[in-house]
Structure 1
Amino acid sequence: MLRTLVGFGGFGLFWGAWGASLPAVRAESGVGDGELGIALLMVGLGALASMRFTGYLIDRYGGVVLPVVVVLFGLCGVLPAFATDVVTLSGALFLLGVTSGATDVAINATGSHAEAVTGKPLMNLAHGIFSVAVVIASLGTAALRTAGADALPVLGGVGVTIAVAAVVVLAPGSRANLQASTEPKSKRRLEPVLLVFGGLCALAYVVENAWQSWSAVHLDTSLDAAPGLASSAPAVFAAAAATGRIAGNALLRRLRPVQLLVAGGIIAAAGSIVAATAGSAWPALIGIGVAGLGTSVCAPTIIGMTGAWAGPERRAGAISTVTTLAYLGFLLGPAAVGAASSAWSLPVALGGVAVLALLVAALGPVAARQSEREPTTFQS
C-alpha cells in the first residue's frame, strides 16, 4: 500500500509543479504560444508510445519496473528547464511523456495488485493522494515563483525528490511487490472486455479534463467573473476531486464498485449541468466543485475493476490497455469542448459534458457484469 501511495504522491507532485512552472518554461525556452501548443502535444504522444509496452514489461518482469520508470520520470521531468527552442522543448516533452505514461501504468498496476492482495479498496485513495499532491505542489511552486525562482530549481527539486523516493520506498523487496508472469504469450490478446473498460474510462476522463481545462475560461468568458475568482476554478475542481476520491475509497467498504461508479457519474452530470447553465460565477463554481466530486471516483473505480477482472498474471497488461484507451479521452476531451464551443457556445459544450457523465453512469453496470468474471472482492 505504501508503495502505491508514494508513487501516486510523487506523480501528483510533479504535475502540480509542472502546471505552475509552465509559464517559466515557456519564457526560458523562448517559444510562442503556438510553438508551446505543438510541444505540449509531445507529452501525449510519448505517453501513448510507452503505456502498452510498460504493461508488458510489468507482466514479464514484475515490480522491478516501478522504481526504474519512476526514477527515469523524475530525471526527465527536469529536461524542459534546459530547453532553448521549440525543437529541444519538444524533445524534452516527448521523453517526459514516455516516462510519464510508463509511470502512470506502473503505479496503477501496483495499486490494483495491492487491492487484490489485501482485499481492500485502494485505487480511489491513491488517486486522491495524487490530487492532494497536485494542489500542494501547485501552491508551493506559486510561492517559489513569487519569490523569484525559475523553472530549473523547481523542477530539479521535484525530480530529485521523486528519484529518491523511488530508490528508498518503491524499490522491490516488499511482499506487496508485483510478481512476474508465467502466462503463455498466446493468451496475451486484446479482449473485448478491455475495450469496454477502456471506453468507459475514456468517457470519464473526457468529463474530468474538460472541467479541469475549461472551468477558468468558462467563468472568465461566459460569466465575466473577476480574474482571481476565475483562476480559482481549477483549484476548486482539484480539491473537490481529492475529497471525492478519499471519501469514495471509504465508501467502497460499504458499496460495490459499480454502485460508486453510477453514483459518481450522476453527481458529475448534476454538477456539470449546474455549472454550464449558471447565470453567475458563484453558482457555477459550486457546480464545478460538485462535478469534481462526482467524476473523481469514476476512473479509479474502473481501473480497479479492470485489475480485479484480469487477475494476477495479466493485470498490468490489462491496466495498460485500459489506461492507454482512457488517455485518448484525456487528451481529446479539452479539444472536443473547444470544437463544440466554436460550433455553438462554451456553456452548450460543457452541457454536453453532462451527457457524457450520464453515459458513464448508464454503462457502469455493463462494465460490472464483465468484472464479475473475477472472484476478487473487497472486504471491510
Structure 2
Amino acid sequence: MTLARLVAVCAVWGVFWGSWSALLPAVQTQVGATNADLGLALAGVPVGAIPAMALTGRLVRGRERIALAVSTALFALAAAGIGLVTTPLALGLALVGLGAASGALDIALNTATGRAERESGGRLFQTVHAAFPVAVIVAAPATGLARSLGYGPAQVLAVIAVLVLACAALAMGLPLGRGVQPVADSRPKGGLAARPAARCARRVRADHRELGRAVVGPAAGGLPLGPPRCWPARRPPPTWARSPRAA
C-alpha cells in the first residue's frame, strides 16, 4: 500500500510535466507571449524551485507524510492556476509558484520514500522514480489527443489538478512514523576503545591532505612538498613525488 501511494504521487507529478510539454504552444497563444516572453516566463520555474527545495529540505524531516500531502496539494493548485493566466507577466508569476510547489514536492517525495524504505526494509526508490518517465511518456500524447478533440489548456489542467489532489489525499494515508527521528551521533563517545579510532581517523585525514599537496604541488607549477608520512620510511616515495634535486 505504501509503495502504491508513492508511485501514484510520482506518476501524477510526471503526468503534469508530460502534459505541460504538449500544452506549451497553446499556453503561449493564450497569453499572447512572444518567444522571448515565453523564455523569460519559463525561467520562473527554477527561480521558484531552488529556494523551495532548500527550505523543504530543512523542514521536512520527521514530517514526511504531511509535507508530501501539502506539497502535492499546492502543486495541484499551481497547475490549475496556469490555465487561468492571460498575460505573460501572470504566466511568469504562476510558473514561479509552480516551480516552488514542484521543488517542494520533489524533496518531500524523496524523503518520504527514503523513510518508507527505512521502516519497511524494502527497496522502493527504483519503482517510485520509474513512474515519473512512464507518466510523462503517456501524458504527452494523451494531452495532444485531448487538444485535437477541442479541449483547451484550462480544461486539461483542471483535470490534472483533480488527479493531483486525489494523490494528495492518498499521501495523507501513508503509514509513516510520526515525529522527528533522532539523528545518530557519529562522534566517538568517551572511553578508551573510542579514542584510538578517533586518532586513527584524524591521522588518515591528515595523510590524505598531505597526499593531495604532494600531487597538486607539481601540477600547479611548484616544487613537490615531499611524500606524506603515511608512506613507510624504508620505502622511497614514487618518482613523481620527489623533488627535482633528489631525482
Task: State the TM-score, normalized to the length of structure 2.
Answer: 0.69
Q: Provide runs of 4+ in structure 1 moved above 4 Å.
A: none
Structure 1: gaps (5+ residues): 188-380
Alpha-carbon distance in 2 for matches of 1:56, 1:3: 24
Q: How does 1:147-186 map to 2 (within 5 A)?
A: 147-167=149-169, 169-172=170-173, 174-175=174-175, 177=176, 179-181=178-180, 183=182
C-alpha distance after superposition, 1:42-83 (max 9, x if no partner): 001100010121122211534211111101101111212222
Instruction: Quote the residue 1:104 is aligned against.
Output: 106
Residue aligned with 1:82, SS: coil
Alpha-carbon distance in 1 for matches of 2:118, 2:181: 18
Instruction: Quote the residue 2:223 is aligned against.
Output: none
Alpha-carbon distance in 2 for matches of 1:88, 1:66: 27
Which of residues 93, 97, 105 is equivalent to 1:91?
A: 93
Percent identity between matched residues is: 31
Q: How does 1:188-227 map to 2 (within 5 A)?
A: none
Instruction: Quote the residue 2:136 is aligned against.
Output: 134
Q: Which amino acid aligns with 1:36?
A: L
C-alpha distance after superposition, 1:310-342 (max 9, x if no partner): xxxxxxxxxxxxxxxxxxxxxxxxxxxxxxxxx
Alpha-carbon distance in 1 for matches of 2:179, 2:13: 24
C-alpha distance after superposition, 1:255-279 (max 9, x if no partner): xxxxxxxxxxxxxxxxxxxxxxxxx
- Residues 77 and 155 of structure 1 are in contact (CA less than 8 Å); yes or no, is this contact kept in structure 2? yes
Task: Tell whether 2:113 aligns with 1:114.
Answer: no
Alpha-carbon distance in 2 for matches of 1:53, 1:17: 27
How far did 1:178 drift? 5.1
Residues 161 and 125 (structure 1 numbering): CA distance in 2 closer, same or farther, change over 3 Å? same
Which of residues 8, 11, 32 is equivalent to 1:9?
A: 11
Instruction: Quote the residue 1:333 is aligned against.
Output: none
How far did 1:28 drift? 0.2
How far did 1:118 drift? 2.3
C-alpha distance after superposition, 1:190-234 (max 9, x if no partner): xxxxxxxxxxxxxxxxxxxxxxxxxxxxxxxxxxxxxxxxxxxxx
- Residues 62 and 181 of structure 1 are in contact (CA less than 8 Å); yes or no, is this contact kept in structure 2? no
How far did 1:131 drift? 0.9
- Residues 46 and 97 of structure 1 are in contact (CA less than 8 Å); yes or no, is this contact kept in structure 2? yes
C-alpha distance after superposition, 1:121-178 (max 9, x if no partner): 22121111111111111111010111121100111100111102211x1114x43x25
Residues 86 and 63 (structure 1 numbering): CA distance in 2 closer, same or farther, change over 3 Å? same
How far did 1:183 drift? 4.8
Which is bigger in relative contact order (C-alpha 8 A, separation at least 6)?
2
- Residues 4 and 107 of structure 1 are in contact (CA less than 8 Å); yes or no, is this contact kept in structure 2? yes
Higher helix share: 1
Residues 145 and 178 (structure 1 numbering): CA distance in 2 closer, same or farther, change over 3 Å? farther
Alpha-carbon distance in 2 for matches of 1:28, 1:12: 23
Residue aligned with 1:67, SS: helix
Q: How does 1:61-72 map to 2 (within 5 A)?
A: 61-72=63-74
Alpha-carbon distance in 2 for matches of 1:40, 1:155: 17
How far did 1:89 drift? 0.5
- Give the CA RMSD over aligned residues: 1.7
- Residues 64 and 112 of structure 2 are in contact (CA less than 8 Å); yes or no, is this contact kept in structure 1? no
Which of residues 81, 84, 89 is equivalent to 2:83?
A: 81
Larger Rg: 2
Residue aligned with 2:63, SS: helix
Q: Which amino acid aligns with 1:170?
A: A
Alpha-carbon distance in 1 for matches of 2:18, 2:177: 28
